Amino acid sequence: MGAPKKKPTQMKRDQRRAHIKASVPNLIECPHCHELIPSHTVCPNCGWYAGEEKIKVEKEKD
């Protein structure tokens, strides 16, 4: 097995890493309170999922 003769350049290193990046989360609008939430999760604002209330969320009083 041969060993590398020269150090890879910064350009080659960055080209190799070009596909490694953070993706934008898939956010949807909650049909009950219209907040943006990740899909397939219970809404942390109102506690609704799939058309029914799954958890009770207490509202903060100002």
Q: Containing domain of residue 61, as a range?
A: 22-62
Statement: residue 62 has pLDDT above 70: no
Q: Which two tokens stand for residue 36?
A: 């943006």
Given a cut of 70, is residue 1 above it in pLDDT? yes
25 has pLDDT over 90: no
User: Can you tell me the distance from the alpha carbon of 48 to that of 53, in angstroms, rounded to the nearest whole number?
Assistant: 4
Q: Residue 61 — very low, low, confident or very high, per pLDDT cuts 50/70/90?
A: low
Report the greatest alpha carbon distance in the chain: 70
- State how many domains the chain has: 1
Residue that has been written with the tokens 């604002």 in this structure: 45
Separation in Å, CA 12 to CA 7, 9, 19, 34: 10, 5, 13, 45
Look at residue 5 in the predicted model and tell me its pLDDT. 92
The answer as to whether 29 is a domain residue is: yes
Task: Examine residue 31 and state whether it is found in any structural domain, yes or no.
Answer: yes
- Residue 14 domain-assigned (yes or no): no
Average pLDDT, integer, range 37-60: 87
pTM, to two decimals:
0.55
